[in-house]
Chains A and B, each alone.
Chain A
Amino acid sequence: MTALETSGTGTVPAAAASAAAGDAPHTPVTPNPRKAKLRMWAELTLFLGPALVLFLTFVVYPVISAARYSLYQWNGVEQFSDATFIGFENYARALFGGTDPATKSAFMTAYTEPFQAAFSHTIAILVLSLLIQLPLGLLIALVLNRRFPGRASVRVIMFAPYVLSEVIAGIMWLIIFDPNGVATRLVQAVGLNPPAGGWLEDQTWGFWTVFFIITWKYIGLAVILFLAGLSGVPQELQDAASIDGASWWQTQWRINIPLIAPTIRIWVFLSLIGSIQLFDMVWVLNQGGTTGQYSTIATYMMQIGFFRSDWGFGSAIAVIMFLLSFAVASFYMLVVLRRDNADRPKKVKQA
């Protein structure tokens, strides 16, 4: 190993040196260029093959299938060849009750309204995450960004909910928010009334309870990411600001927050995608609520597709969810994250 390293920086045979200096790829020394090319493609197949086969078979093909199923009326039980092709009718049902006037009002109740409810809950979670979790996470990170006894442990503890499985966290909160559970007892103990219909079952409180649980689960990631960003801000800048008489707030607002902006943008990206695809946690919490009072797009898709055997419609919902996350992610990557990525290590320098 050491021999290889030293020969890399030491004297280099002329022929190989010229090959390396040009724009040509670095290739092992082989006499025959055609053979070398063949060899490279063989290596590419060897290295890329397994990943490509797995990815195309188990990710790309199912996604394309979902797009195809979404054009059919299909219950998933009968052969797919027997399914009825109905064009974009499933999408029409999701969005405005379908094109057939005879069934329109029935489909409005059966398909459109629950979908719109699920869609609006997902968007509400997406927006509220940015409005509540972002400032809260930032504030906690800024306050914790100083030396005090036990800081390292606090950091790790606050990260714990994030690595906890959604199932465990969900069941834990399900027990706590049981109508006769400890949350009710604690609220009564301070003289307040718990939500009339139960924490999760209540039509308005249900959503907020779930949002609280989501915030508990995912705020740790924001705090940890922001703290990691803050540890890269040079202390000299903050010292200089405080010498100039800046208050704590001014220092945070003018120096720390702008300097960790790339980290904040990364968190926003993760949060957007995560909100759109939120499933496990809400599914464990009574599958989106008994009347769907806090259903998300993903839980609604599972309910209608898998458990009510309407695979065509379920697939249409899946495609809508994909398009939404694709649109949001592409927009965010192109518009917001582009400048952060501009300085990434492009290419290692050539000799």
Chain B
Amino acid sequence: MTATSSPATAPQRPVSPPHRRYAKGEKRSSDRSVYLSIGVALIGVAVTLGPIIYLVVGGLRTQQDLSTNPTGIPDPIMWSNYGNILTTDIFWRQAANSLLVATLTTAGVVLFGTMAAYPLARYRFRGREGIFLMFTTGLMFPLTVAVLPLYLLLRDLGLSGLPGLIIPQIAFGLPMTIIILRPFLRALPTELEEAAFMDGVSRIGFFWRMLLPLAKPGMVTVGVLAFIASWNAYLLPLLLLTGDPRGMTLPLGITTFQGQYASATTLIMAYTSLAMIPALIFFLVMERRIVDGLTGAVKG
């Protein structure tokens, strides 16, 4: 299996040869210029993390403390800000909704995207390039362009609530997925296919038993992109999930909470922090995949 999966990584960006890069340069480059890099890095980290830390710490303050002592250590420390949010069911419902929507969207995007990318990459038929071009232009139809008619369409189809969110999100995630996966699937050696067919495996059998396992790295990449896009999505939930906050996803829930408790800034900070942290950690672990995906999307 390891031997067969190596060609699968071929279309991705070349990996740097790490040991070689630094081993020589490090000794020679003057020690002083390292401090410049460290200085820039520290400024970058401070500017990036400063506001985020301010938000998380602010969630521990009282309203009074926030206005008199915004940058110091919270006094008193209000763990209850976080505690109260975590003990109400609204936050958990919204987190569960977000997770459900993002998971189903990702599953749909990866499944249907891979299925579509396979013939577009490895079959020969008339209209193939035309269909691919259509999906490519789809990248330029942002949700914002289509959102008003889409809203009406969903209303006419009777799709509301979370399903009304998931299905269009899958549709809008497909172009990116197909664009990334097609060159990826194309680069798998044809010999595999020939051999499988010779042994009497059908195309569908080949797809399930060989292509899917080989395409796993590419599928993870597009899956992560689709998950993040869905998890962060705001516009479609804004139009579809009106009414009960228990039916909302987290981003919409945050703005609704903000509207309700406009004067309780520290509570908003706590709510926002809680919504941010788990996803942030997960996405940062996946950083490599995201970068691969984004470069692949435009290059492919």
Contacts and interface: CB of A to CB of B under 8 A. Distances in A.
Contacts of A221: 294
Interface stretch (A84-92, A94-102, A199-207, A336-344): A336-344
Interface stretch (A109-117, A125-133, A223-231): A223-231
B300 interface: yes
A40 interface: yes
B3 to A, nearest CB: 8
Interface string A151-171: 100111111110111111001
Interface of B: 1, 3-4, 10-11, 13-16, 18, 20-22, 24-26, 28-29, 33-34, 36-38, 40-41, 44-45, 47-49, 51-52, 54-55, 58, 67, 70-71, 112-113, 115-116, 118-120, 123-125, 131, 134-135, 137-142, 144-153, 167-168, 170-172, 174-175, 178, 183, 186-204, 207, 209-210, 228, 231-232, 234-235, 238-239, 250-252, 254-255, 258, 265, 268-269, 272, 275-276, 279-280, 283-284, 287, 290-291, 294-295, 298-300
B148 A311 contact: yes
Interface in A296-334: 298, 301-302, 305-306, 311, 314-315, 318-319, 321-322, 325-326, 329
A163 B283 CA distance: 7
A345 B186 contact: yes
A154 B45 contact: yes
A263 B51 CA distance: 29
Given A140-B40, A318-B148, A321-B144, A235 B24 contact: yes
A187 interface: no
A63 B141 contact: yes
Given A28-B201, A148-B37, A157-B49, 9 more contacts: A1-B209, A4-B195, A12-B198, A76-B148, A143-B36, A146-B25, A147-B21, A284-B234, A318-B147
Give the one of B116, B145, B195, B204 with max A CB within 10 A. B145
Given A181-B70, A232-B14, A239 B197 contact: no
Interface in A50-78: 50-52, 54-55, 57-63, 65-66, 69, 76
A342 B283 CA distance: 32
A51 B115 contact: yes
A289 interface: no
A175 B113 CA distance: 40
B150 to A, nearest CB: 4
Contact of A59 (B171, B194, B238): B171
Nearest to A178: B265
Nearest to B258: A171
Contacts of B258: 171
Contacts of A58: 150, 153, 167-168, 171-172
A8 B299 contact: no
Interface in A24-43: 25-29, 40-41, 43
16 contacts: A4-B201, A29-B200, A59-B174, A60-B141, A147-B26, A154-B45, A159-B284, A163-B284, A182-B71, A232-B16, A298-B144, A302-B147, A306-B151, A318-B147, A319-B145, A326-B137
B115 A50 contact: yes
B140 to A, nearest CB: 5
B276 A51 contact: no
Given A48-B116, A147-B22, A224 B287 contact: yes
Given A171-B254, A319-B145, A160 B48 contact: yes
B300 to A, nearest CB: 7
B232 A55 contact: no
A315 to B, nearest CB: 6
Nearest to B201: A28
Contacts of A16: 194, 197-198
Nearest to A181: B70
Contacts of A185: 70-71
A5 B44 contact: no
A329 B232 CA distance: 24
A306 B115 CA distance: 36
A54 B48 contact: no
A216 interface: yes
A314 B148 contact: yes
A259 interface: no
Give the one of B16, B28, B153, B255 with max A CB within 10 A. B16
A158 B48 contact: yes
Contact of B192 (A5, A57, A144, A167): A5
B208 to A, nearest CB: 11
A283 B194 contact: no
B235 A280 contact: yes
B71 A154 contact: no
Contact of B203 (A43, A158, A160, A216): A43
Contacts of A345: 10-11, 183, 186-187
A192 interface: no
Contact of A165 (B192, B201, B231, B268): B231
Given A44-B125, A159-B287, A348 B150 contact: no
A277 B144 contact: yes
A190 interface: no
Contacts of A288: none
B135 A55 contact: yes
